[in-house]
Amino acid sequence: MQAGKRNALTLTCLAIASASAYADQTVTIGYAGPLTGQVAHVGKDAENGVRLAIDEANAAGIKIKGGPVTFVLNSQDDAADPRTAVTVAQQFVDAKVAGVVGHLNSGATLPASKVYANAGIPQVSPSATNPMFTRQGFATAFRVIGDDSSVGKVVAQYMAKKGYKRIAIVDDRTSYGQGLADVVDTEAKAAGIDVVDREFVNDKTIDFRGILTAIKSMDVQAIFYGGVDAQAGPLRKQMTSLALKAPLVGSAIETDKFIELAGPAAAEGTVSAESGQPLESMPNGKAFEQKYKKYGTVVLYAPYAYDATWALINAMILANSAAPADYLPAMKKVDFEGVTGRIAFDNKGDLRAARVTLYEARSGKFSPMTTVTLK
């Protein structure tokens, strides 16, 4: 081969190699949550938060290792079911996703977290509040919301300040519902409140009249329910039909769905505690609300799912790599002002500072009463 031809070939190979080095990299982020079933409205809301973050990251022209990156979403329905969640988690592992936002409820998040830990894939939940999620010793587990320890403490403090001396607690036996109810039970007793009855249902119960009749005979001043809005609404409606005048207190039930199921009149006075703060009070809440309008109205966890997605992306930028093994250590170095507030993780994977807001149903909608910051 002639020298000139060899040089031309060499230059061509170098050009191809150079182009390959800076070729567009596709990075897949998984989202898992309930996209069907009773709480699909909450799951789709969070999914849209992830989608919005990915769209913005792509528009920003982020580069890793000197080359452009295209982020894509792999969204899966776990139906808020623990077994399905494990199947979905394994699908993500097999698909080699770079990171996962989810799962939504604690019952799905806890079993799925073991799969991600074994595979070394970072997982950021926007909403799972069971304390055990970040206390299992998994380096891959993170959340951008406070846990049930914070919520339960604020609920008990609220009931004590209201002067309630006798309460009943009902939960749906899920990891979320029972876990939160247990915290409220402990904190209420510590605050001098007598828990006169603990009742249990399941996450499919729609007829609460039997347990409500029993509770009514105990002259309670409030009922705490550990479960989701899809059941809390019918529970509140049936309390009214039985002339049970004690108010209902819950967590994460401050939705339009609750008002619809309970009925505006029955819903009046219901109190819900939620990790985080109202959208309008979030540092970048108003701007987020405007951007989110293409999907509709924010339901609940969209801002947290958005921040969870950016936590993963920011860690990749810090590590200059989208490989889970490379950027996982950088998750503990992430520190930015998100929509919901400062996103920075402690050694467990929890936020360094968490907030809890109390809401009350008034005139057919929930309005914030107060926000408590816990460190």
pLDDT digits (tens, 9 = 90+) for 26-40: 999 999 999 999 899
Residue 305 counted as domain residue: yes
* 67-81 average pLDDT score: 97
Measuring CA to CA, which residue among 198, 208, 200, 195 is closest to residue 167? 195
If asked whether residues 27 and 110 sit together in one domain, one would say: yes
Say if CB 160 and CB 194 are below 8 A apart: no
Residue 300 and residue 245 share a domain: no
Residue 64 covered by a domain: yes
Q: Are residues 252 and 167 in the same domain?
A: yes
User: Tens digits of per-residue pLDDT, 143-161?
Assistant: 999 888 999 999 999 999 9
Q: How many domains does the chain have?
A: 2
Read off the pTM. Answer: 0.80
Q: Which of 23-27, 74-78, 253-257, 347-351 has the lowest mean pLDDT?
A: 23-27
- Segments forming the whole domain that contains residue 204: 149-275+357-374
Contact call for residues 179 and 107 (beta carbons, < 8 A): no
Question: Are 237 and 289 part of one and the same domain?
Answer: no
Please tell me whether residues 169 and 288 are part of one structural domain. no
Strand order in the sheet with 123-125: 63-64, 67-77, 25-33, 99-102, 123-125, 141-143
Taking a C-beta distance cutoff of 8 angstroms, is the pair 303, 279 a contact?
Answer: yes
95 inside domain: yes
Average pLDDT for the chain: 92
Instruction: Give the mean model confidence (pLDDT) for residues 279-283.
Output: 89
Please give the pLDDT value at position 122.
98
Q: What is the radius of gyration, based on Cα positions, of the chain?
A: 23
| CATH number of 230's domain | 3.40.50.2300
- Residues 61 and 195 occupy one common structural domain: no
Output the pLDDT for position 23. Answer: 57
Residue by residue, what is the 3-state secondary structure of the chain? CCHHHHHHHHHHHHHHHHHHHCCCEEEEEEEEECCCCCCHHHHHHHHHHHHHHHHHHHHCCCEECCEEEEEEEEEEECCCCHHHHHHHHHHHHHHCCCEEEECCCHHHHHHHHHHHHHHCCCEEECCCCCHHHHCCCCCCEEECCCCHHHHHHHHHHHHHHCCCCEEEEEECCCHHHHHHHHHHHHHHHHCCCEEEEEEECCCCCCCCHHHHHHHHCCCCCEEEEECCHHHHHHHHHHHHHCCCCCCEEEECCCCHHHHHHHCHHHHCCCEEEEECCCHHHCCCHHHHHHHHCCCCCCCCCHHHHHHHHHHHHHHHHHHCCCCHHHHHHHHHHCEEECCCCEEEECCCCCECCEEEEEEEEECCEEEEEEEEEEC
pLDDT class for 363, splitting at 50, 70, 90? very high
Same domain for 59 and 180, yes or no, is no
